């Protein structure tokens, strides 16, 4: 017998014929068939007893999962959804359909007044994805950078690519009947720690910051992030604004106590000397980190800030390519990286960035200024596989709408989210809900200050 060694003699008898199924269907009971068993059709291919080839176990080639079918699975349609969240931030999702009925979801990072450009990139790049297989993830990402962007990418490009890449992974996981993290090497942890963000909007006084911080802690969060500085963003701020920022941090620390981590966000706004001075004033409150104290385009300046403060320095959300992250390592400019899965190139790109950070002893804390559905799902999948993972982001002000559009929204418990076990990303979106919240074509642009408003 030319079959695998150790095959039981009972398989040498021809079993009853299987019924032909030409339409793939989801696995039943959540279990995958064992190789060689006579089973109904799965996403891997139909079963049929009319075959001249010998099956390894039952002599019916078509009774085996048809792994070659994975290769010929093709993407047939790319559909974007631009969602109005009711605030300044929109959500941009993409749905990929395949010729076998499998569907994949992805999400692009958006920024107010730039989401239309991101949508345009998504539509244009999606044209090049139709007819390709969802498993050619690395190749598609590479040729989009080389042949589409011609090595001149911007955030709009990376955001659109990230959405398409995530959706390809979603299909790949569903086709294999596995969560995406199992296709990335398997999980390193069973649950993912998250910190709360978005809770401090509309806060002005230190007391308002303190009150809202306590409300978030009461919901079970053990870490929370906020930007204590006032708008508009300025590279050089006055003493009064600096003092107010310090008092806001003081109020939050005193309100939540020492057992809750506070994460300070600066949003790239300060000059290096001011960032260093303010860091010295904040050290007494023992922040968990000091995020983007200056613009990372000044990588030497960022490295100087890191050398001059004891606070862990974070950068990464405004970096998109592996070449940019390589400069962080070369100049030892940060202790923690926070790349965003929705604008760094996607799931595989984020995992590669994390792997590159390991030998430099740099931790990974993925940024997630995205929805609490697809963007969060992609973040959870890749975070599960990162040994140097630290914590990730959860926007509490997005939770309500995120739950409305998702079939199985993620639940935060004790500042953690359990890993999803469903195939793919572990999330499905309600298209009717997406249509209800469609972003109108005509909308009022945000206010951009004039020179008369400058101080």
Name the residues annotated as catalytic: 267, 367
Burial of 392 (0-12, 13-18, 19+ CB in 10 A): buried
Residue 335 is inside which H or E element, if any?
Answer: none
Per-residue burial over 115-150, b if 16 or more Cβ lie within 10 Å, else e, is bebbbebbeebbeebeebbbbbbeebbeebbeebbe
Those residues with Cβ within 8 angstroms of residue 68's Cβ, 6 or more apart along the chain or in another chain: 45
Give the integer Cα–Cα distance in Å for 149 and 4: 48
Of 294, 285, 300, whose CA–CA distance to 318 is shortest?
Answer: 294
Q: Which two tokens stand for residue 333?
A: 């400019």
Whether 195 and 224 have beta carbons less than 8 Å apart is answered as yes
Beta-strand ranges (E) seen in 85-239 are: 90-98, 103-108, 191-197, 223-226
187 beta partners: none
Helix (H) or strand (E) holding 440: none
Structure tokens at 39: 């089973």
Tokens, residue 98: 């395949």
* Residue 192 Cα distances to 19, 129, 415, angstroms: 43, 32, 8
Interior angle at CA 152, CA 269 and CA 334, nearest 5: 40
Tokens 């385009």 identify what position? Answer: 297
- Cα distance between residue 302 and residue 110, in whole Å: 25
Handedness of CA 344, 348, 349, 352 (dihedral sign): positive
CB half-sphere exposure, 366, CA atoms < 13 A:
35
């Amino acid at each position: 017998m030319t079959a695998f060694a150790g095959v039981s003699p009972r398989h040498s008898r021809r079993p009853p014929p299987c019924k032909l199924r030409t339409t793939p269907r989801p696995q039943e009971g959540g279990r995958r068939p064992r190789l060689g068993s006579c089973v109904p059709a799965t996403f891997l291919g139909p079963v049929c007893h009319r075959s001249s080839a010998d099956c390894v176990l039952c002599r019916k080639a078509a009774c085996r999962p048809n792994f070659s079918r994975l290769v010929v699975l093709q993407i047939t349609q790319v559909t974007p959804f631009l969602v109005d969240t009711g605030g300044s931030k929109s959500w941009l999702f993409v749905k990929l359909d395949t010729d076998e009925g499998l569907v994949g979801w992805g999400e692009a990072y958006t920024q107010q007044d730039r989401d239309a450009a991101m949508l345009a990139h998504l539509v244009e790049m999606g044209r090049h994805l139709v007819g390709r297989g969802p498993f050619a993830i690395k190749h598609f990402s590479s040729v989009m950078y080389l042949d589409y962007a011609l090595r001149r990418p911007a955030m709009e490009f990376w955001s659109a690519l990230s959405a398409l890449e995530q959706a390809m992974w979603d299909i790949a996981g569903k086709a294999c009947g596995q969560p995406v993290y199992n296709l990335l090497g398997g999980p390193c942890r069973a649950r993912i720690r998250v910190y709360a963000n978005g809770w401090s909007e509309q806060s002005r006084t230190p007391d308002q910051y303190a009150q809202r911080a306590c409300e978030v802690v009461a919901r079970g969060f053990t870490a929370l992030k906020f930007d204590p500085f006032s708008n508009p963003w300025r590279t050089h701020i006055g003493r009064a604004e600096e003092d107010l920022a310090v008092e806001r941090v003081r109020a939050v620390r005193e309100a939540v106590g020492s057992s809750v981590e506070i994460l300070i966000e600066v949003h790239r706004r300060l000059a290096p000397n001011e960032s260093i001075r303010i860091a010295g004033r904040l050290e007494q409150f023992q922040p968990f980190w000091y995020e983007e104290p200056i613009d990372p385009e000044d990588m030497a300046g960022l490295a100087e800030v890191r050398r001059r403060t004891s606070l862990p320095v974070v950068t990464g959300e405004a970096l998109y390519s592996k070449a940019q992250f390589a400069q962080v390592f070369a100049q030892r400019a940060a202790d923690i990286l926070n790349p965003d899965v929705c604008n760094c190139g996607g799931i595989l790109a984020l995992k590669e960035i994390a792997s590159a950070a390991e030998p430099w002893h740099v931790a990974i804390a993925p940024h997630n200024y995205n929805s609490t559905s697809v963007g969060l799902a992609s973040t959870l999948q890749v975070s599960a596989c990162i040994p140097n993972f630290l914590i990730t982001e959860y926007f509490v002000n997005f939770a309500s709408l995120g739950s409305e559009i998702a079939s199985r929204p993620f639940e935060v418990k004790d500042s953690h989210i359990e890993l999803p076990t469903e195939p793919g990303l572990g999330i499905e979106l309600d298209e009717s809900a997406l249509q209800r919240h469609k972003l109108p074509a005509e909308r009022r642009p945000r206010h951009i200050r004039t020179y008369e408003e400058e101080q």
